[in-house]
């Protein structure tokens, strides 16, 4: 692979699909091409009955993902920003609504759009060095890929306001106590943790998992899913850049 495709690696192995955000020199920040790469990988995974679970990982030791590539974002006009928002929603909603369970394996920083990606997954496990934050308000905008509704559902309004409005950086202890992550592990136990999760899902009836996901997720999708709200967000982001 070359170019943008090399920044998103997808491997299917023994019933599990692994998507790696492969942009470690830039802390695995996400650009438009990478969002498209994730969407293409999701389409392949959804169509493969042999895949029983999907795992997201960030390349390197420093970050799961620090979110949107701000250099690319700053070059966008209002229509471009609206398209950026729609693309992120389409990708993250596809992760959240797919029948196969998804797991975010978080190391280092999970910030902004990177944390939004993790929130779209069913399960989040984190290394002891993980740090979580939404710095968007400092840049003059808000998380735009569905994080506001997902975060509030997961950890409650008060905790969500602490992270969003105060820009608080959350360590793994706080993430565990609020329910933001499901389990914390030591770096040396990474392989063991992944094997435990993949074995669980591979040994569980996929139809039962799909039914459970549908029941748990019903009426809990992102509230930012229509053109009116995309227009509002694009307008706000455009103002924030001036």
Look at residue 85 and tell me whether its pLDDT is greater than 50.
yes
The pLDDT, as a whole number, for residue 38 is 97
> Stretch 141-152: mean pLDDT, rounded?
90
The pLDDT, as a whole number, for residue 214 is 87
Q: Any idea what the CATH number is for the domain that residue 78 is in? A: 3.90.226.10
Look at residue 42 and tell me whether its pLDDT is greater than 60.
yes
- Encode pLDDT of 181-233 as tens digits: 999 999 999 999 999 999 999 999 999 999 999 888 764 555 444 555 556 55
Active-site residue, from 96, 127, 136, 193: 136
Residue 47 host element (H or E): none
Percent helix, percent strand, percent coil in the chain, to nearest 5: 50, 20, 30
Q: Indicate whether 240 belongs to any domain.
A: no
3-class secondary-structure state, position 125: strand
Number of domains in the chain: 1
Q: Indicate whether 25 belongs to any domain.
A: yes
The pLDDT, as a whole number, for residue 223 is 47
> Stretch 32-48: mean pLDDT, rounded?
96
The pLDDT, as a whole number, for residue 52 is 97
Q: Indicate whether 226 belongs to any domain.
A: no
Q: Kindly give, in sequence order, each residue whose CB lies less than 8 Å from that of residue 58, ignoring residues fewer than 6 positions away.
A: 20, 21, 24, 28, 64, 65, 106, 107, 108, 114
The pLDDT, as a whole number, for residue 227 is 57
As a residue count, the chain comes to 242
The pLDDT, as a whole number, for residue 224 is 46
Q: Indicate whether 35 belongs to any domain.
A: yes
Q: Indicate whether 220 belongs to any domain.
A: no
Is residue 136 annotated as a catalytic residue, yes or no? yes
The pLDDT, as a whole number, for residue 238 is 67
Cα 229 from Cα 93, distance rounded (Å):
15
Q: Indicate whether 145 belongs to any domain.
A: yes
- Encode pLDDT of 1-36 as tens digits: 444 558 999 999 999 999 999 999 999 999 999 999
The pLDDT, as a whole number, for residue 81 is 85
The pLDDT, as a whole number, for residue 233 is 58
The pLDDT, as a whole number, for residue 234 is 65
Partners of residue 8 on adjacent β-strands? 21
Cα 126 from Cα 66, distance rounded (Å):
15
The pLDDT, as a whole number, for residue 139 is 83
The pLDDT, as a whole number, for residue 236 is 59
Look at residue 177 and tell me whether its pLDDT is greater than 70.
yes
**What mean pLDDT is reported for the chain?**
89
Q: Please give the span between the terminal C-alpha atoms of the chain, in angstroms, as a whole number.
A: 37
Active-site residue, from 96, 116, 127, 193: 116
> What domain range includes position 147?
3-201
Q: Which residue has the tokens 């910030």?
A: 111
Cα 41 from Cα 132, distance rounded (Å):
25
Q: What percent of the chain has pLDDT over 90?
A: 72
């Amino acid at each position: 692979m070359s170019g943008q495709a090399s920044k998103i690696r997808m491997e299917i192995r023994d019933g599990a699909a692994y998507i790696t955000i492969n942009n470690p020199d830039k802390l695995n920040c996400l650009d438009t091409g990478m969002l498209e790469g994730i969407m293409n990988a999701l389409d392949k995974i959804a169509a493969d009955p042999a895949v029983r679970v999907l795992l997201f990982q960030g390349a390197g030791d420093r970050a799961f993902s620090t979110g949107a590539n701000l250099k690319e974002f700053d070059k966008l006009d209002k229509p471009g920003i609206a398209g950026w928002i729609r693309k992120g929603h389409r990708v993250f909603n596809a992760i959240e609504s797919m029948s196969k369970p998804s797991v975010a394996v978080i190391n280092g920083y999970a910030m902004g759009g990177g944390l939004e990606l993790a929130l779209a997954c069913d399960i989040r496990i984190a290394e002891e060095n993980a740090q979580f934050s939404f710095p968007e308000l400092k840049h003059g905008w808000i998380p735009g890929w569905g994080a506001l509704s997902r975060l509030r559902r997961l950890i409650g309004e008060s905790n969500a306001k602490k992270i969003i409005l105060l820009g608080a950086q959350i360590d793994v202890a706080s993430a565990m106590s609020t329910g933001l992550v499901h389990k914390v592990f030591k770096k040396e136990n990474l392989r063991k943790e992944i094997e435990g999760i993949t074995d669980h899902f591979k040994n569980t009836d996929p139809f039962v998992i799909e039914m459970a996901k549908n029941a748990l997720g019903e009426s809990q999708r992102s509230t930012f899913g229509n053109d009116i709200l995309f227009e509002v967000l694009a307008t706000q982001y455009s103002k924030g850049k001036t």
